[in-house]
Amino acid sequence: MTQFWLWIGVIGMASGSIFFGVGAHNAKKESWRAIFILNFFITAIASALYLAMALGQGVNVIQDRTTYWVRYVTWFLSTPLLLLDLAYLGRTSVPLVGSLLGANAYMIATGFVATISPKPINYIWYLVSCGAYLAIIYLLVKPYRLEAERKLPGMAGAFRRLVTVHLVLWTGYPLVWILGNTGFNLISGGVETMLYTSLDLASKVGFGLLSLNTLHTLEQVREPQLVRR
């Protein structure tokens, strides 16, 4: 079952990267090209991750647990690009983008340490990593949305939806972590892989499509004088 879901991941992510890559190639406007390029690299990195795992690489027995540690290596590279999607759409200022990327790197790095630590130390790092995630939630729900709504008046609904979908999907990861062998061991390795693959496909391919849809909404509604950056 693990193998099945890993190959689903390969096929899904590769399809996504082809779609976004072709879109980037054909995009006329710079705004569309930017979003397509970001999502192309997000799904291309994830394709390599799933290919490696499907080939039996990037996995070791760590602390008596079968651990796909390579996930964290690629998440460290792909999650900042997802946040840049949000930042590009919301015209986020540099200090806020820096804070989001910093909190995200902190979350992934300490999540990785949690994953390779023996119990019960792993739970300490899990809480630290969740703390960084709470910081991301706060930054997106409050200052990110305020800034986006100030710069793009009348688009509050689009950004509320974007942030909500993003946070619902990202919240799935710490839940799977605590249910899997890294935490309380309530689900099997196969189910864990199924859940991570589903979350990855939704939060990378699906969220990429939502980003494009949001850009479409922004450019439809926006007054001409707001088109210039």
Q: What gap in Å lies between CA 180 and CA 158, rounded to an integer? A: 34
Q: What gap in Å lies between CA 195 and CA 209, rounded to an integer? A: 20
DSSP 185: -
Output the CA–CA distances (angstroms, integers) from residue 178 to 84, 105, 197, 199, in the order listed.
27, 20, 16, 15
Give the type of residue at 202.
Answer: A
Work out how close the CB of 142 gets to a second copy at its nearest, in angstroms, rounded to a whole number.
Answer: 10
The contact pattern for a second copy, residues 9-38, with x = CB under 8 A and - = no contact, is ---------------x-----x--xx--x-
Pairing of strands 65-67, 60-62: antiparallel
* Contact call for residue 137 and a second copy (CB under 8 A): no
* Contact call for residue 65 and a second copy (CB under 8 A): no
The contact pattern for a second copy, residues 86-125, with x = CB under 8 A and - = no contact, is -------x-x--xx--x--xx--xx--x---x---x--x-
**Alpha helical stretches, state H, the chain:** 2-26, 30-54, 70-90, 94-116, 121-139, 145-151, 156-179, 189-200, 207-221, 224-227
Please pick, from the candidates 1, 11, 22, 55, the single residue that binds a second copy as defined by CB under 8 A. Answer: 55
How many chain residues interact with a second copy (CB under 8 A)?
Answer: 28
Work out how close the CB of 151 gets to a second copy at its nearest, in angstroms, rounded to a whole number.
Answer: 15
Q: Which is nearer to a second copy, 48 or 89 (CB)?
A: 48
Nearest to 173 by CA among 207, 202, 145: 202
Structure tokens at 168: 């619902």
Work out how close the CB of 75 gets to a second copy at its nearest, in angstroms, rounded to a whole number.
Answer: 14
Work out how close the CB of 53 gets to a second copy at its nearest, in angstroms, rounded to a whole number.
Answer: 12
Contacts with a second copy, residue ranges (CB under 8 A): 24, 30, 33-34, 37, 41, 44-45, 48, 51-52, 55, 57, 77, 93, 95, 98-99, 102, 105-106, 109-110, 113, 117, 121, 124, 128
